[in-house]
Structure 1
């Protein structure tokens, strides 16, 4: 998952996003240090000005993170969806691939919406996790079914952006991206070029914000540690296991899909996929795993023409775990905040998760975490403030994300190859 992709623009031109290297390990260390410092110094009589200064640093960093969400999501949606629409016109193999993509993504989102509440009922969130909500604003009110349907179309897209109404914004930019593909080549090229430049500019901005993440995360974590005590570490461990479990469903689904649609026994598929899985775990990068995936496809006896077409396309536009694990994060925060997620809210989250997953390109894990989960949480009426701390531990669930994504890419390739024979 920790890679940049190259979304295709109009006229066959390739648009490359800027490459950003983030201080992931340092941010994680800052989280641990902040929590430990807050626990140890909670009752030490720290000066009030120091506490207020740390709170201010954390608040400013959080707001800087939030201000990038809408413009970055809009630009990445346009770039990613124009590439997806053009991929659909590449032939029957591409259309079969996209049907499987949508099926897997929808299945992951629905599974999480149904299974995660039951999982949290069996293994409740530790009470100490409440400290993560001290800075969270009041959640948005979730409308009823008729109001929800009416809200799908915003009469004023600028007002919708100001209100962070993510569902109508997502629908608007999805339609806008499709419209671009219907324009004459020169006009489409010009518009895609604009959004490419906007995406790169916003990636630079969010890259700068995330470069100072160790300071912001330390400041926020210090407050959480002071409020929650040592239980904050247990709460983070619980969160990592629960979210990773939803990715585990996609991993298991890959073996089932390869068996049912690809005609490959689970044991044979497991042996052939193992080298690619090893690279995925060690690099946490689907792109870096591509050569190993091509080798695994050869071990499975898949046609080279199918593998060489489907696997690069899958790396570019298919993130199998995104709806399942991103919905899991949003639902976890909702449970943490005591927010009841209605079927309408869950449907809104799945819709946004689906479009964001298909439309956005592969990005470094920390950026993808903010860009993908922020809109889902906003669409469901879930506070986004806890995401500022959870992003610091994304490096751990990201192992499951990449492992399941790579495995599912191979499974889908086997299905496309078999149906095309």
Structure 2
């Protein structure tokens, strides 16, 4: 059973409304009410947090092992993966440059930001940024278990990537056994997240009530502002699919727009790239992409490639950094780019309400950004998630057309 995002959003609205009403009409009751509801919201947030490290490790290992196996399977798959990596890293770099510019041009309302953060009693204090030399030394963990226990995400990711690459060098039986273990671990964590999200209306409602009761109406404006900023970053990735199809795939703009439209319609209704796969296959073949290319590249894209993931996930982390007053240095942004682009390999093709915390928390933790605000932002993820999926399916078809053109050109050269 999956909780509807609309129900979670309704819980957010109900919690905010109830908190505002209580603060206005019975301010003397605010302390007693928040003492009851604050632990409920905090427990729900901690339940989500406890899945982050094992889920990130398991999905990242599974993603790397799958990517390497696919690349070894043939030239077509390897070409597709090169395109995936180039777009993922380009999207993350774009977000690191564009999101701060958007937030400087359209700053978060100061009173609303202070109110929202002030209402989150669990918000963590911001630690000091270590000197550069100490940071470099800390990137390689002396004890990966200790790194996991202390939420030292970047060292943990580095160890996990090395460990995953080592798994790919084992013989078939050992490799499959280890890969299967981590795949099962990731699936188990997703089950736990599903259980926790079944309680999301209670947890989000409690957190929203506490914030609104302590701050009144001031914090409400942050949510709309947040949606506009993150959606704008995602829309850039979505829009870039069209020139990629025209330039990289040599397709006419109108032809590509018509071919991808059915997949976009499915994406809006399901918020799932996997559910959009049949429509993407039909669209690719309508563009003249060979059946071989479409049947290899598109399933790989659905399994490994989330075009909007690094850009929009990093945009969320940057937004929370601005919200909480975390200073973002060029080094911090570079870390965010690396973690966002890397962890996307392990992302799951599921609606954003399920993957939101697990996808963005590692980026935030690596950048030194508190993650408590994510528990409220997940409630308004429905609209950004639609843009995420639209961008993903559009880019999947665009990449397939570009890979198809490259593959067809190579075949012609070989024949000649």
TM-score, normalised on structure 1? 0.92
Residue of 78, 84, 93 corresponding to 1:101: 84
Task: Decide which of 2, 6, 10 is 1:29's aligned counterpart.
Answer: 10
Q: Is residue 2:34 matched to residue 1:51?
A: yes
SS in 1 for 2:73: coil
What is the distance in 1 between the residues matched to 2:258 and 2:349?
Answer: 27
- Asked if 1:194 is matched to 2:168, the reply is no
CA distance in 2, matches of 1:142, 1:413: 42
Aligned mates of 2:68, 2:116 — CA distance in 1: 40
- How many Å separate the matches in 1 of 2:348 and 2:376? 23
Conserved? CA contact 1:142–1:380, under 8 Å: no
Looking at structure 1, the residues matched to 136 and 245 of structure 2 have their Cα atoms a distance apart, in angstroms, of 37
State the shift of 1:47 in Å. Answer: 5.8
Which position in structure 1 is the counterpart of 2:97? Answer: 114
Greater displacement, 212-221 / 145-154: 145-154
Query: Given the alignment of the two structures, is residue 259 of structure 1 paired with residue 246 of structure 2, yes or no?
Result: yes
Does structure 2 retain, via aligned residues, the 8 Å contact 1:290–1:312? yes
Residue 297 of structure 1, CA deviation: 0.8
Q: Which runs of 5+ in 2 are unaligned?
A: 409-416
1:9-408 mapped onto 2 (5 Å cutoff): 21-43=2-24, 44=26, 45-46=28-29, 48-127=31-110, 128-134=112-118, 135=120, 136-408=123-395
Contact 1:279 1:288 in 2 (8 A): yes
SS of residue matched to 1:50:
helix
Q: Give 1:11's aligned residue.
A: none
Does the Cα contact within 8 Å between 2:340 and 2:363 map onto a contact in 1?
yes
Contact 1:80 1:361 in 2 (8 A): no
Mark the CA change 1:366 to 1:140 in structure 2 (over 3 Å): closer, same or farther.
farther
Deviation at 1:397? Answer: 0.4
CA distance in 2, matches of 1:140, 1:395: 32
The 1:208–1:84 alpha-carbon spacing in structure 2 relative to 1, beyond 3 Å, is same
For residue 190 of structure 1, report the CA deviation from its aligned partner: 1.9
Structure 1 Cα separation of the partners of residues 177 and 73 of structure 2: 22
Residues 47/279 of structure 1: CA separation in 2 closer, same or farther (3 Å cut): closer
3-state SS of 2:348 partner: coil
Q: Distance in 2 between matches of 1:412 and 1:142?
A: 39
Q: Which residue of 1 aligns with 2:414?
A: none
* Paired residue secondary structure (1:230): helix
SS in 1 for 2:403: helix
Kept after mapping to 1: 8 A contact 2:115/2:218 = no
